[in-house]
Every structure is written in structure tokens, then in C-alpha cells.
């Protein structure tokens, strides 16, 4: 499939389905992917296809961001979004990157939000947790509450259980956003009654400020995956709303 890597530190701005006009920040070197998940739907492809990833330096990242925002003055984005070729919280200087980004944002683009798209694998680390608590949109992946589905869908590098993940997600006290990809194909279908009921139970326990539901919109490394319809996502969203939790379908 025609997956791709981001070839710059700063990319966009693009019109994000979730966030509006978004200026992307890629903390990874453009030559490769670096992630502790290997999701079957990742737009950046399989980890094995793009090995030997490394990080852009703290100064490279914040310098490029400041230069781009200065260049965009008068047409600034709605949001600065940390995403790119892998898991941004893996960067050894992630907390400092966020601190500098906040300083740059406050000085150049004070109305711009800061978002981080994370797979939540490192939220047990105090420095990562502190950094995520400082951003405007702490968006954390939670695709299933069933172990076998997580292993098949996200292919995590680690042995953390779903129950442990739920407990860690609860530490943000409702200030986080949960992001869930729904899809079918191969050995994965997280839209079954069993799956959705278990997932709703986890959402009820986590009590995030918002839930974002979405399905496949780009090419995927795994073949045979099926996009879940907007109507079906709305049906799941209604069940989230019944829990008293804000939800969006994007």
C-alpha cells in the first residue's frame, strides 16, 4: 500500500479532521519510522520497512517550529500537533521540547493550541506525564479493551495489560482526550458487541474530557482492512454520549 513518511520536521499546515488547521511537528528523522507500536493501519507503514529511526535534536525541532510560525504570521494555524514518523513521547527530550514549544507559542502564536497524538505507551513515565499535562490537547490512543485485539491491531512492543493501561489513563483526571480507530479486516474487528461493550466500560472508568472516533482514511500497511461507516461510528458515539462524555466522529 502507498504508506508514507513525513520528510520534514515541520509539515503543513493541513486541514485536520480532528483539530482544524494544524501545523505538524515530526520529532523523528525523516529517513525512518520509530515507534513502539506497529499498528496495522499506520499511514507510515510497518516498522520493519523503515528501520533505524532516530530523533531530530531539541534545537532542530524548536528552531524549525519558531521559524515556521514566524513565517506564517498573519495566517497562523489553529493548532501545533506533535505526530510524525512514530511515537513523539519516545524522544529523550520530550518534556523540554514541550516546554520550549509552549514558550514559542506564547510569544508568537498565543491563540494556537498545542496537541500531542500519542499511543499512551509511555504515560507511566513522570516526565512524559508532566509534559502531556501541560499541552492543550493530550490525545491518547485506546483502540480496544480486549487484549488479543490490542495485540493484533496495535502490535505493541511491551507487555502492559489493558487493565494497566486503563489505570494509567485515569491519572489525567479527565483532562485527556481518548482517540479510537474502529476497523474490520483479517483477524481484527473492534466493532463487535463484545468489543464495543468492553471499550465503553473502559471509557466509563477513564472518564476523559472527550472521545474522538474515526476510521481508516488513508492507505494502510495491512491489506484487507475495511473502513467503518460514519453512521456506525455515530451509533457508537451515541453510547458514549449516554455516559455523559463529549464525543466527536471525525
Contacts of 79 (CB under 8 A, 6+ apart): 16, 19, 20, 21, 22, 23, 112, 113, 114, 115, 136, 137
pLDDT of residue 18: 67
Mean pLDDT of the chain: 93
What pLDDT score does 1 carry? 46
Q: Which residues pair with 138 in a beta bridge?
A: 116
pLDDT for 2 equals 60
Percent of the chain with pLDDT strictly greater than 90:
81
pLDDT score recorded for residue 15 = 79
Which of 21-25, 45-49, 231-235 is the least confident region?
Answer: 45-49
Q: In the prediction, which pLDDT does 249 show? A: 96
- Domain boundary assignment for the chain: 10-249
Dihedral (C-alpha) 112, 89, 49, 161: value to the nearest 10 degrees? -120
CA contacts within 13 A on the Cβ side of 38: 13
pLDDT of residue 216: 95
- Which overall architecture, per CATH, does domain 10-249 show? Alpha-Beta Barrel (3.20)
Amino acid at each position: 500500500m502507498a504508506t508514507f513518511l513525513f520528510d520534514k520536521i515541520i509539515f503543513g499546515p493541513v486541514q485536520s479532521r480532528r483539530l482544524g488547521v494544524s501545523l505538524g511537528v515530526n520529532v523523528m528523522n525523516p529517513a525512518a519510522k520509530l515507534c513502539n507500536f506497529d499498528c496495522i493501519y499506520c499511514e507510515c507503514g510497518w516498522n520493519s520497512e523503515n528501520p533505524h529511526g532516530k530523533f531530530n535534536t531539541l534545537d532542530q525541532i524548536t528552531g524549525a517550529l519558531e521559524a515556521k510560525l514566524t513565517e506564517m504570521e498573519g495566517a497562523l494555524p489553529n493548532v501545533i500537533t506533535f505526530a510524525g514518523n512514530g511515537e513523539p513521547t519516545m524522544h529523550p527530550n520530550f518534556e523540554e521540547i514541550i516546554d520550549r514549544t509552549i514558550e514559542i507559542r506564547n510569544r508568537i502564536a498565543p491563540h494556537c493550541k498545542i496537541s500531542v497524538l500519542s499511543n499512551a505507551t509511555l504515560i507511566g513515565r513522570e516526565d512524559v506525564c508532566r509534559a502531556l499535562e501541560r499541552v492543550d490537547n493530550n490525545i491518547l490512543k485506546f483502540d480496544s479493551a480486549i487484549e488479543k485485539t490490542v495485540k493484533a491491531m496495535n502490535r505493541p512492543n511491551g507487555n502492559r495489560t489493558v487493565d494497566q493501561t486503563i489505570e494509567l489513563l485515569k491519572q489525567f483526571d479527565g483532562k485527556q482526550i481518548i482517540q479510537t480507530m474502529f476497523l474490520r479486516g483479517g483477524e481484527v474487528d473492534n466493532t463487535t458487541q463484545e468489543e464495543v461493550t468492553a471499550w465503553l466500560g473502559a471509557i466509563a472508568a477513564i472518564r476523559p474530557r472527550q472521545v474522538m472516533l474515526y476510521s481508516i482514511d488513508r492507505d494502510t500497511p495491512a491489506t484487507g482492512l475495511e473502513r467503518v461507516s460514519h453512521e456506525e461510528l455515530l451509533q457508537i458515539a451515541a453510547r458514549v454520549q449516554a455516559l455523559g462524555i463529549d464525543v466527536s466522529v471525525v
